[in-house]
Amino acid sequence: MSPTAPKIKLSNGQEIPSIGLGTWRSRKSEAESAVRDAIDLGYRHIDTAFVYENEDEVGRAINAKIAEGIIKREDIFVVTKLAGIHHDPHLVEHACRKSLSNLALEYIDLYLMHFPVGQIYAGDENVHGSSKLSDVDYLDTWKAMEKLADLGLARGIGLSNFNAQQTERVLQNCRIRPVVNQVECHPGFNQKKLIEFSRQHEIVITAYAPLARPKPEHQWPPFLYDAKARNLAQKYRKTAVQICLRYLLQLGTIPIPKSVTKSRIAENFNIFDFELSCDDMKVMDDYHTGQRLIPFTAMSQHKYFPFNTEF
């Protein structure tokens, strides 16, 4: 059997594998085989969301691997997310049960509030909501999520795309603490301040878009293609992608690279047999531009928009 990744302890005692497979934009036809391949290759942490519209396929792959005897349910850490359309407290349990039914699982390991801003509900089929944003306070949504943990439907609950101030507000008013905040994080936007803030509050950062969605045709982002990146890769006998993911790991985050390509799924996992030196961490630090790749500008006028502050 393939070796699995080291785990990180969360503040509620759960253990989360230190790399996960992302599945956003994994089309229905691709998601199931990607998750099957990932599990065969040693991944034990899968990231999906209601809005990705592939929970069915992700769940089918996980259940197939359980049926084959490759994993047991308790071996795999499944993350999914509460959609903006389900922020109204009376919709939260319904949404969680819907995700559980899609996944064909009895519990979710970690259920995240996908974004602090909600959208007006117009039926579950309308996953992206009407174009209207809602004014539901994310604290009320959080309190409804706490009940999911009480019911055992979600073992852990957490945040995504929350800034430090919003996280602090949740911490000051919660009964159950968020264990994770999933945010954009790659060498170009390394989130050092949010990582440090979160560490002080025992919240682990999951790094989404860890490769900044590479565009090889434009040799972009530079930390995967420029001469410095190539030199580092050569020095460690690794690929630039592996250097990038190792950097995120050493920053203390959990990268969740998405791929539907078996060789890349394997490449992205192969980051546990080397360590970047302090000097080389600094080389990677220099790629930070402070520029977000995914600014969610459509929501930028909303009172709960998280990205108007530095971190």
Q: In this chain, which of 136, 148, 209, 254 binds ligand NAP, going by CB under 6 A?
A: 209
Q: Does 23 bind ligand NAP (CB under 6 A)?
A: yes
- The alpha carbons of the chain give a radius of gyration, in whole angstroms, of 19
Q: In this chain, which of 148, 153, 249, 260 binds ligand NAP, going by CB under 6 A?
A: 260
Q: Does 51 bind ligand NAP (CB under 6 A)?
A: no
Does residue 216 have a cis bond before it (omega within 30 degrees)? no
* Cβ-based neighbours of 62, under 8 Å, separated by 6 or more: 35, 39, 46, 71, 76, 78, 103, 105
* Cβ-based neighbours of 38, under 8 Å, separated by 6 or more: 21, 46, 265, 269
Give the three-class secondary structure for 113: strand
CB of 278 to ligand NAP, least distance (A): 25
* Cβ-based neighbours of 130, under 8 Å, separated by 6 or more: 119, 120, 122
Q: Does 211 bind ligand NAP (CB under 6 A)?
A: yes
Q: 């961490």: which residue's tokens?
A: 281
What letters, b where the CB count within 10 A reaches 16 and e where it falls short, cover 30-57? bbbebbbbbbbbbbbbbbbbbbbebbbb
CA 155 to chain centre: 16
CB of 210 to ligand NAP, least distance (A): 5
Q: Please, how many CA atoms are within 13 Å of residue 6, restricted to the half-sphere of its CB?
A: 11
Q: Does 160 bind ligand NAP (CB under 6 A)?
A: yes
Q: Does 110 bind ligand NAP (CB under 6 A)?
A: no
- From the list 103-111, 162-170, 260-268, 270-278, the region that binds ligand NAP by CB under 6 A is 260-268
Total number of residues that touch ligand NAP (CB under 6 A): 25
Q: Which is nearer to ligand NAP, 72 or 237 (CB)?
A: 237
Q: Which is nearer to ligand NAP, 119 or 268 (CB)?
A: 268
Q: Which is nearer to ligand NAP, 65 or 238 (CB)?
A: 238
Binding mask 60-99 for ligand NAP (x = CB under 6 A): ----------------------------------------
Q: Does 214 bind ligand NAP (CB under 6 A)?
A: yes
Q: Does 264 bind ligand NAP (CB under 6 A)?
A: yes
Q: In this chain, which of 32, 47, 57, 280 binds ligand NAP, going by CB under 6 A?
A: 47
Q: Does 230 bind ligand NAP (CB under 6 A)?
A: no
- Joined tokens for residue 74: 């308790």
- Cα separation, 244 vs 239, whole angstroms: 9
**Residues involved in catalysis:** 52
Name the nearest CA neighbour of 141 among 130, 125, 152, 157.
157
Q: Which residues bind ligand NAP (CB under 6 A)?
A: 22-24, 47, 114, 160-161, 182, 208-214, 241, 256-261, 264, 267-268
